[in-house]
A and B are shown apart, each in its own frame.
Chain A
C-alpha cells in the first residue's frame, strides 16, 4: 500500500526560527516521486519541489532545504530563518510510475509568529 504520513499536525514558531516538517512515505514501487506543496489561505497548492527515488541528494533553495533518506523512507523539509509569509499548510505527496495520482499526507499547518 502507498501512504504518506505527516505526523505533525500543527507547528508554531517565532519568526527567524528554523523549522523542520517531517514526511514519511510507504511504497513498494522502486520508481517513485516525492513532492512538497505549500497551501496558503487562498487555497492554491504551490509546487515547491519534486524528487525521484534515484536521487538522494539533498537540495537547498534559498531558505528551503530538503533531506531525502531512502533508508528511513523520509523526505523532510526545513525552513531556515522562518518568516511570517511562510505561514501555510504544507503537504508532502508521493506518486509512482505505476499510478501517477498524487497521494498526499494530511498536511502540517505552520504558523510563524512575528
Chain B
C-alpha cells in the first residue's frame, strides 16, 4: 500500500513569505504529526492531528500552524518565514495515537 506522501519535496522561499506543506497519510491512518529536523536542533515535534483535531503542540511560535481535513490529509503553514525556518519538515501518520509512526520523505524548505 502507498506510504506517506509529502509535497512538495523541495521549496525555496524568501524571508517574509509564507509556505504551505502538504501530507497525505497512509490509507486508514487517522493521526498525522509534523516534525522539524535541523542540524542544530535535531528532530523536534511541531503538532499532531487526530480526526481533524489538534491533539498536541510543540514549542514553536504561532507562525507555525496546521490543519487536518476529513480525509485525514494534513497541511502545515508557516507564515513570515525566517532564515532559521530552513529545515527538513517530516510528516508521520499513525493508525491511532499510541501506535508506531510512519514517515514521509519530507519537504526540504530553504529560506533565503
Interface residues of A (CB under 8 A from B): 33, 35, 37, 42-47, 50, 91, 95, 97, 99-107
Given the contacts A100-B56, A106-B42, A43 and B105 also touching, CB distance less than 8 Å: yes
In this assembly, does B101 line the interface, its C-beta being within 8 Å of a C-beta of chain A? yes
Residue of B58, B100, B108 near A35 (CB, 8 A) is: B100
Q: Is the interface of B mostly helix, strand, loop or mixed?
A: strand
Given contacts A44-B106, A104-B42, 17 further A-B contacts (CB under 8 A): A35-B100, A35-B101, A37-B103, A43-B108, A44-B104, A44-B105, A45-B90, A45-B103, A47-B102, A47-B103, A100-B55, A101-B56, A101-B58, A102-B33, A102-B101, A106-B42, A107-B43
**Number of residue pairs spanning A and B whose beta carbons lie under 8 angstroms apart:** 52
In the complex, which of the residues A45, A47, A95, A97 has the most CB atoms of chain B within 10 Å of its own CB atom?
Answer: A45
Contact string, B62-104, partner A, CB cutoff 8 A, digits 1/0? 0000000000000000000000000010101000011111111
**Which A residues are in CB contact (< 8 Å) with B97?**
100
- Pairs across A and B, CB under 8 Å, 6 listed: A42-B105, A44-B103, A47-B103, A100-B97, A102-B43, A102-B45
